[in-house]
Chain A
Amino acid sequence: MGIPKVLNRKNRILLKELTKTDFKLRYQGSVLGYLWALLRPLLMFAILYVVFAKLLRIGGDIPHYSVYLLCGTSMWSFFTECTSQGIQAIVNRGDLLRKVSFPKYIVVVSATLTAVINMLINLAVIIIFALINGVEFNLSWFLAIPAILELYLLSLGLAFFLGAINVKYRDITSIWDVLTQALFYAVPIIYPISMVASTSALAAKVILLNPISQAIQDIRFGLITHETITTWNYLGNPFLSLIPITLVLIILIIGAISFRRKSKFFAEEV
Chain B
Amino acid sequence: MKRQIGTRTEINDDSDLAIKVKNLHKSFKLPTEQAFGLKQAFFNRLRGIKGYKEQKVLKGIDFEVKKGEFLGIVGRNGSGKSTLLKILAGIYYPEKGEITINGTLVPFIELGVGFNPELTGRENVYMNGALLGFSNEEMDKMYDDIWDFAELKDFQDQKLKNYSSGMQVRLAFSIAIRAKGDILLLDEVLAVGDAAFQQKCSDYFNSLKDRNQTVILVTHSMENVRKFCTRAILIDNGLIVKEGDPNKIADAYTKLWQ
Contacts and interface: CB of A to CB of B under 8 A. Distances in A.
Interface of A: 9-10, 13-14, 16-18, 21, 24-25, 28-29, 95-102, 168-171, 264-265, 267-268
Binding site of B, secondary structure by majority: helix, strand, loop or mixed?
A: loop
A264 B91 CA distance: 8
Contacts of A96: 113-114, 131
Contact of A16 (B36, B116, B130): B130
A21 B126 CA distance: 10
A98 B86 CA distance: 9
Contact of B131 (A9, A100, A169, A265): A100
Contact of B86 (A28, A169, A267): A267
Contacts of B136: 13
Interface of B: 3, 5, 28, 36-39, 41, 86, 89-93, 107, 109-110, 113-114, 116, 118-119, 123, 126-127, 129-131, 133-136
B36 A14 contact: no
B134 A171 contact: no
Contacts of A9: 133, 135
A9 B134 CA distance: 9
Nearest to A266: B91
Nearest to B41: A169
Contacts of B41: 169
B116 to A, nearest CB: 7
Nearest to A12: B135
B116 A169 contact: no
B36 A25 contact: no
A100 B113 contact: yes
A268 B28 contact: yes
Given A24-B123, A101-B89, A268-B92, A29 B37 contact: no
B126 A17 contact: yes
A10 B133 contact: yes
A13 B134 contact: yes
Contacts of A21: 116, 119, 123, 127
Nearest to A97: B91
Contacts of B107: 100-101
A196 to B, nearest CB: 34
Contacts of B90: 101
A16 B131 CA distance: 11
B91 A99 contact: yes
A24 B130 CA distance: 16
A25 B120 CA distance: 11
A178 to B, nearest CB: 14
A268 B83 CA distance: 10
A16 B5 CA distance: 32
A170 B40 CA distance: 12
Contact of B37 (A95, A169, A268): A169
B169 to A, nearest CB: 15
Contact of B92 (A24, A102, A267): A267
Nearest to B40: A169
Contacts of A24: 119, 123
Contact of A98 (B91, B93, B119, B131): B91
Nearest to B111: A99
A265 B130 contact: no
Contact of B93 (A13, A25, A169, A264): A264
B118 A28 contact: yes
B106 to A, nearest CB: 10
